[in-house]
């Protein structure tokens, strides 16, 4: 679970690579999952993307699978 602190971004999470609670940059990206051009507009899904500011490890999770 993410928590806030007094840092610039304010999000700390457990990093699987570092094994520590570290500051993460957190964003939401809309990704197209279909490779077929005619269905691409119907296959966009939100993903939560986190990046550890200590080691650079990135993780993404489909939000409707959370």
Q: What pLDDT, on the 0 to 100 scale, is given for residue 54?
A: 95
Q: Find all residues with CB under 8 Å of 48, minimum gap 6, and list them.
A: 26, 27, 28, 60, 61, 63, 66
What is the value of pTM for the model shown? 0.71
Give 2-51 pLDDT, tens digit per residue.
555 545 556 899 999 999 999 999 999 999 887 777 777 778 899 999 99
Phi, psi of 34 (to 5 degrees): -85, 140
């Amino acid at each position: 679970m993410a928590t806030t602190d007094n840092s610039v971004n304010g999000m700390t999470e457990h990093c699987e690579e570092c094994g520590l609670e570290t500051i993460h940059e957190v964003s939401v990206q809309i990704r197209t999952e279909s490779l077929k051009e005619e269905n691409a507009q119907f296959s966009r899904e939100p993903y939560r993307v986190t990046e550890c500011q200590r080691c650079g490890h990135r993780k993404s999770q489909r939000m409707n699978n959370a």
